[in-house]
Amino acid sequence: MNNSAPLVEMRNICKHFGGLQALTNANLDLYPGEVVGVLGHNGAGKSTLMKILAGAHTANSGEIMIGGKHAVINTPNDARAYGIETIYQELALCGNLDAPANLFMGREKQKWGFLQKRAMRRETEEALSRLNIRIKSLDTEVEMMSGGQRQSISISRAVHFDAKIIIMDEPTAALGMEESKKVVDLIKDMKSHGIGILWISHDIHEVYNFTDRIAIFHGGENVITAPTKEFTQDEIVSMIISGRPVNHEASA
Amino acid sequence: MNAYAKFRTYPLTWIVAVAVALGVVLSFASPYFFTAGNINNLMKQVSIVAVLAAGQGVVILTGGIDLSVGSVLALSAVTIGWLIKAGVDPVLATCCGLLMGTLCGFVNGFIVTRGKIPPFIVTLGMLGIARGMALVITGGVSYQILEPFFLVIGNSKFLGLPIPIYFVIVTYAVIHVTMHFTVFGRHIYAIGGDERVAGLEGINVNLEKLKVYTLSGFLAALAAVVMVGRLAATPPSVAEGVELQAIAAVIIGGISFTGGRGVVLTALVGALIMAMITNGLNILGISSFWQQVLIGIVIIAAVWIDNLKSAKR
């Protein structure tokens, strides 16, 4: 896997909100076709790091390289231009709008400023059916839909725009069993197409089964970045809690 | 969703039904209500609030509010009057008046977005500033405007309809198309739905809000042009409190005060309903004191009914 160039390299990222140091020299890399589990407590800095990559926050210092080249990401649209799509945990959807409006939010199909509603509707239908998602009516406000349906719209939004890098913030948290399985299948499919996925999750079991590597954060710093299978699930949990890498020599 | 359900849930359907019902009731109550003269009069009365309510509706759809429209109207009117008195061509003076209102709206939007100050406070400040400036410019006196350009706007008819009505029609036509068929309109609904999400999804929230407040200022100035035509004068105290009527029209129309839901056209119907109440009670010889009570009740009832409807969904 490491024979190809990394899709993303984040080097020495620092971010503070007023006096609060959210990230200190955080590092992360991601290779094509790889799923990296980003782990840590709430407030460990993992969501902040993801938001920096997605353009929702800007770092105070540090460097981001996309495909080996220095990248400047100041806005969500900058990130999208680099092929970075984000599926937010809090489901970044507007409840008062329908599925096509949400799918194309911020990048509406247009001609001279006028919406091309029919084209967007058709593409939404295609995007949803590609993921085997059934939605009663495309005219329904998203607020009227179940958590799973909304998550599906979020995911199809990310997939539809030919992403190279997808950030998933607890993609299965709001989902039932069947829907979760669909998401996992989808992730496998994306992997095979060479898409890199950053997966934030608290579900250790899920992470253990479906990620290639893990990056653990604690107090805004990297604890460790390593292939998932070098550790047991218990060791991963203990690293998340203690913030110290497990010493294999001692246990061996 | 089938066509009937779509029709039933479309925001305009109910409010138009209410307006028609009110019209029918008033027609039965008084033989003078449904006469060409009275309807013309009614439409002229409604034109200024209606134009303001269009801008207000757009602002409220973003989740904001513009309390300054009455004062901005006055400042624009006074600008026109002052320039005409100074010997400027009336058309050029009108353009300057429109520019003045647009500038006030731009300043509102600039401060709301850059200063991160709630729109209620910013536009409350502008309410004082614009009214004060109107008084400062004129020294408190009203200019008489007898230019034919304004007399035509105020008193003439075209195809049987008073000219101010055309201001209303064009305003609402343009706003309706903008809100429902353009990217800008879509962004306004997104911002009103969830501003944070709109930002995350790459909408330039500050720029779109700046445009919205600027638009509201421009429409206040447009209403000023109609006002100058109708009054043939520019008293600096004109249109005091009219912003509350515009807000009331928007609320009665059923546009959500928290933003994101509603159709701007309903504000026009809301303005018409208010005008019909005032006009109807006048014809029936009921004290104008009661009109205020009734309109107050209608405002609260409109929102209450709306809540009941959305609870059912």
Can you say whether the dihedral through the CA atoms of A189, A190, A196, A198 is positive or negative? Answer: negative
* 3-state SS, residue B158: strand
Tokens of A172: 């299965």
| Distances from the Cα of A35 to the Cα of A75, A179, B88, B254, angstroms | 24, 19, 70, 48
Tell me the pLDDT tens digit for each residue of B53-102: 999 999 999 999 999 999 999 999 999 999 999 988 999 999 999 999 99
Six token digits for residue B297: 């009740």
Evaluate whether residue A133 is within a structural domain.
no
Give the best residue of A53, A86, A93, A97 to mutate against chain B (max B CB count within 10 A).
Answer: A97
Has residue A124 been placed in a domain?
no
- A109 belongs to a structural domain: no
Size of interface A-B (CB pairs under 8 A): 72
A139 at interface of B, judged by CB pairs closer than 8 A: yes
Q: Which of B309, B313, B311, B312 is nearest to B15 (CA)?
A: B309
Residue from the list A93, A114, A137 with its beta carbon closest to the beta carbon of B181: A114
Compute the mean pLDDT over every residue in chain B, rounded to the nearest whole number. Answer: 90
* Per-residue pLDDT reduced to its tens digit, A70-122: 889 898 888 988 889 888 766 788 988 999 999 999 888 889 989 988 999 99
Residues in chain B closer than 8 A to A144 (CB atoms)? 313
| pLDDT tens by residue, B120-156 | 999 999 999 999 999 999 988 888 888 888 888 888 8
Q: Do A88 and B190 touch (CB under 8 A)?
A: no
- pLDDT above 50 for A53: yes
- Residue in B6, B182, B197 closest to A94 by CB: B197
Q: In 3D, which of A106, A136, A101, A135 has the Cα closest to residue A121?
A: A101
Tell me whether residue A204 is exposed, middle or buried, using C-beta atoms within 10 angstroms of its C-beta: 0 to 12, 13 to 18, 19 or more. Answer: middle
**Per-residue confidence (pLDDT) for residue B12, from 0 to 100:** 82
- Is A234 within a domain? yes
Taking contacts as CB-CB distances below 8 angstroms, the residues of chain A near B190 are: 94, 97, 101, 105-106
pLDDT at position A187 is 82
Angle formed by the axes of helices B288-312 and B242-253, to 10°? 40
Q: H/E/C letters for each residue in chain A?
A: CCCCCCCEEEEEEEEEECCEEEEEEEEEEECCCCEEEEEECCCCCHHHHHHHHHCCCCCCEEEEEECCEECCCCCHHHHHHCCEEEECCCCCCCCCCEHHHHHCCCCCCEECCEECHHHHHHHHHHHHHHCCCCCCCCCCEHHHCCHHHHHHHHHHHHHHCCCCEEEEECCCCCCCHHHHHHHHHHHHHHHHCCCEEEEECCCHHHHHHHCCEEEEEECCEEEEEEEHHHCCHHHHHHHHHHCCCCCHHHHC
Q: What are B261's two structure tokens?
A: 């839901």
Instruction: Please check whether residue A40 lies inside any domain of the structure.
Output: yes
Q: Does A94 touch chain B (CB under 8 A)?
A: yes
Distance CA B146, CA B62 (A): 39
Alpha carbons B146 and A34: distance in angstroms, whole number? 77
In angstroms, the separation between the Cα of residue A76 and the nearest Cα of chain B is 5
Q: How many CA atoms lie within 13 A of B173 on its CB side?
A: 6
Cα(B45)–Cα(B279) distance, rounded to whole angstroms? 9
End-to-end CA distance of chain A: 28
Torsion sign across C-alpha atoms B299, B304, B306, B307: positive
- The amino acid that residue A179 corresponds to is E
Range of the domain at A247: 8-95+162-251
Amino acid code (one letter) for B245: Q
Q: Nearest CA of chain B to the CA of A132: how many Å?
A: 21
A86, A93, A115 member nearest B182 (Cβ): A115
**What ipTM does this complex have?**
0.80
Identify the residue with better confidence: B220 or A242: B220
CATH code, A205: 3.40.50.300
In chain A, the number of structural domains is 1
Closest in A56, A101, A139 to B1, CB measured: A139
Query: What value does the mean pLDDT take over residues A202-229?
Result: 84
| Contact criterion met (CB < 8 Å) for B200 and A113 | no
Instruction: Determine, yes or no, domain membership for A71.
Output: yes
User: With the C-alpha atoms ordered B229, B234, B235, B241, is the resulting torsion angle positive or negative?
Assistant: positive
Position A215 in a domain: yes
Q: Which domains does chain B have, with CATH numbers?
A: 41-308 (1.10.3470)
Q: Which residue has the tokens 């409010």?
A: B15
Cβ–Cβ contact A108 with B under 8 A: yes
Cα–Cα distance, A231 to A218 (Å, whole number): 18
Q: With an 8 Å Cβ cutoff, are A88 and B202 in contact? A: no
User: Is A114 a domain residue?
Assistant: no
CB contact under 8 A, A80 and B200: no
Q: For tokens 């911002």, what's the residue?
A: B191
Test B190 with A101 for CB contact under 8 angstroms. yes
- Which among B189, B202, B260 is the nearest to A75, CB-wise? B202
